[in-house]
A and B are shown apart, each in its own frame.
Chain A
Amino acid sequence: MVKVNLPPLAEGVNKAVITYLYVANGDTVKEGDKLAELVTDKATFNLPSPGAGRVTQIFFKEGDEVSVGQTIFQIE
């Protein structure tokens, strides 16, 4: 099981808003597949999957604010 957290994106920027979820619960993903699009004051970021597996939990929805270090996805 892999937990996908929000990695450091820009110092002083500890939060990002999820603007798009590319995957839904139960989807199969491979390494590098886009999981979510997030936006900060300075840019838009795509968060890729760190490994292959099935998305078993999504802890946030579109429009939610996520802090660096928080788990967004669980992949098994």
Chain B
Amino acid sequence: MSSASIFPPWLKKTLLSAETVYRTYDAIKDAGANTVCEASQCPNLNECFSKGHATFLILGSVCTRPCGFCAAVCGQPLPPDPREGFRILKVVKSLAIDYVIITSVTRDDLPDGGAAHYGDVIETLRAYNERLQIELLIPDFKGMRRSIEFVASYSPDIFGHNIETVPRLYREVRPAADYNRSLDVLRWAKESRPGLVTKSAILLGFGEETDEVTECMKGLRSVGCDILNIGQYLRPSGRQISVKRFVEPAEFKDLEDIGYGMGFKSVSSGPFVRSSYNQKEVLRTW
């Protein structure tokens, strides 16, 4: 357990004891669904659950990549479970969710990276409610263009893939990923479906320089990325790489302004911003 003194004052949240926190928590547990809120030990869980928001994790909870910042278990995963979509559907029904966010671990062990499973889950949810809004946050599918285009063909309301950090730090933060490949994921999705709304996220605090971050933002705009979220990296436990710097709120605000200047349609930038944090509200304001 860390000591309180390591967190600057702006990294403080108010805990909500609202009944909805427990209702969301119980609905997810009862259905046996996985959430990334759990895998990442997200500090927003309490707040998001109070609003009935959750981001579902598919393709199991064991990841094939050992990213330096992530709390997901890395190892040999089980084959995709065809009941996963139905577990999410159970939560969608019990909480009357109209905006569902789905992400997954990276499955380099599967020939298609898990793209077909994404399709199955989407079809399960849309069979129940064809107007259900769906946001996806996909892995890079090892750069398999066919898999990326296949998932994009479902026309999710938001198609997300996180760049996470600047290219110089990939070796430490995302050793099995590739910066340009991640840009290609967003580029190919957009090219295959020009109307698709694409999104990415950057975490700060890994040791990046501000000009590297703005270069990364330019890179995202060059592939047509529409939405950008920027947040503070927080170390899930002593096993992950340490936080090099706590970025002040004013600096997050500056990056938000820079992002809008570059032409992003939406930029959410702040210490507790995560890839899907409050996205439903962001879309509502469009």
A residues adjacent to B (C-beta < 8 A): 4-13, 15, 17, 19-20, 37-48, 50, 65
Chain A residues positioned under 8 Å from B46 (CB to CB) = 7-10, 45
B residues adjacent to A (C-beta < 8 A): 1-4, 7, 11-17, 21-22, 25, 35, 37-39, 41-43, 45-46, 49, 71, 234-237, 272
Chain A residues positioned under 8 Å from B22 (CB to CB) = 7-8
Chain B residues positioned under 8 Å from A7 (CB to CB) = 15-17, 21-22, 46
Are B12 and A44 closer than 8 Å at their CB atoms? yes
Are B16 and A42 closer than 8 Å at their CB atoms? no
Are B43 and A65 closer than 8 Å at their CB atoms? no
Chain A residues positioned under 8 Å from B272 (CB to CB) = 43
A-B contact count (CB 8 A): 96
How far does the alpha carbon of A11 sit from the alpha carbon of B147 in the complex, in Å?
A: 31
Are B15 and A41 closer than 8 Å at their CB atoms? no
24 A-B residue pairs with CB within 8 Å: A7-B15, A8-B49, A9-B43, A9-B45, A10-B37, A10-B41, A10-B43, A10-B46, A17-B1, A20-B4, A39-B4, A39-B7, A41-B1, A41-B2, A41-B235, A41-B237, A42-B235, A44-B4, A45-B12, A46-B12, A46-B13, A46-B14, A47-B15, A48-B17
Top-10 shortest CB links A-B: A11-B38, A19-B4, A43-B43, A42-B43, A44-B12, A42-B234, A39-B4, A12-B41, A7-B17, A10-B45
How far does the alpha carbon of A44 sit from the alpha carbon of B122 in the complex, in Å?
A: 36
Provide the main secondary structure of the chain A interface.
Answer: strand
How far does the alpha carbon of A8 sit from the alpha carbon of B235 in the complex, in Å?
A: 19
How far does the alpha carbon of A55 sit from the alpha carbon of B254 in the complex, in Å?
A: 43
Taking A9-B15, A45-B15, A46-B15 as given, write out 10 further A-B residue pairs in contact, using a Cβ cutoff of 8 Å, ordered by the A residue number.
A5-B17, A7-B22, A10-B41, A10-B43, A39-B4, A41-B236, A42-B41, A43-B11, A47-B14, A48-B14
